[in-house]
Amino acid sequence: MQNIFEGLHVPSGNRLGSLPLLALEKALIILAGKGVGREEAHAKIRVAALEAIGRRDRGDTIDIEQLLTDPFFDACREEVVKLCSNPLNFTGRCVSQVRHFLDNELNPTIDPILKKVDIDEAKLDV
């Protein structure tokens, strides 16, 4: 077990504050899909992101709707705000990667050990 968890680092803090910035990438994809030029969309998103980072660095909360107030974002605003309502939309492949690790690495390693130990149930709190 030590080999499995040695060096594991889970950053502390609330990552939801970065969600609006992650949503800007989704806005770029949606706008490009609607025919907006990637360079033009990227330039607008860059301006919005830099302003948001400045506000965040001053201690302000970043809100996705504030980021997308420019009329340029009218074509994607509603869809991006809806995506932001569920943070799981921004986890990428981590759910499938964790499942793969548990099924193919961790469980095959610890199952023989747990079978030797007289335990009805094992629980891992992380």
Would you list the domain boundaries of the chain? 18-116
| pLDDT of 12 over the 70 cut | no
C-alpha–C-alpha distance, residues 84 and 19, integer Å = 7
- Please give the residue that has the higher pLDDT: either 49 or 92: 49
Maximum Cα interatomic distance, the chain, rounded to a whole number of Å: 64
Q: Look up residue 55 and give its amino acid.
A: R
Tokens 């921004």 belong to 90
Given this model, what pLDDT does residue 16 score? 61
User: How confident is the prediction for the chain on average, in pLDDT?
Assistant: 84
Given this model, what pLDDT does residue 112 score? 86
Contact 41, 32 (CB under 8 A): yes
C-alpha–C-alpha distance, residues 66 and 24, integer Å = 12
Q: Helices in 15-86 by DSSP H: which ranges?
A: 19-33, 38-57, 64-67, 77-84
Q: What is the pLDDT of residues 29-63, one digit of tens each?
A: 999 999 999 999 999 999 999 998 898 889 888 88
| pLDDT of 65 over the 70 cut | yes
C-alpha–C-alpha distance, residues 104 and 100, integer Å = 6
Query: What's the whole-number mean pLDDT along residues 74-96?
Result: 88
C-alpha–C-alpha distance, residues 76 and 16, integer Å = 21
